[in-house]
Amino acid sequence: MRGHDLWHIAVLGSALFGAAGAAIIALGSLIFDDPSPALARWRPVIAAVVAAAAVLVILEWTLVH
């Protein structure tokens, strides 16, 4: 496997984790009556994963391809 293939795997993985994090943040309030304490505690980490995924996808689209 070449470095470029590893880059694509990293971008795909981060995009999937970012999409999952965005879904957790967006749908968490619909699923639970009150936000769970764990969700409230982990919300900044989830938002950071979403932001990192967005940055990697943007770098992929603008610099690599």
Can you tell me the distance from the alpha carbon of 49 to that of 43, in angstroms, rounded to the nearest whole number? 10
* Averaged pLDDT in 10-residue chunks for the chain of 65 residues: 83 83 78 75 82 80 73
Q: Tokens 């968490």, residue?
A: 28
Q: What is the dihedral of CA 13, 46, 35, 31, to 10 degrees?
A: -20
Number of domains in the chain: 1
For residue 35, give its domain range: 3-64
pLDDT of residue 14: 82
Per-residue three-class SS string for 7-58? HHHHHHHHHHHHHHHHHHHHHHHHHCCCCCHHHHHHHHHHHHHHHHHHHHHH
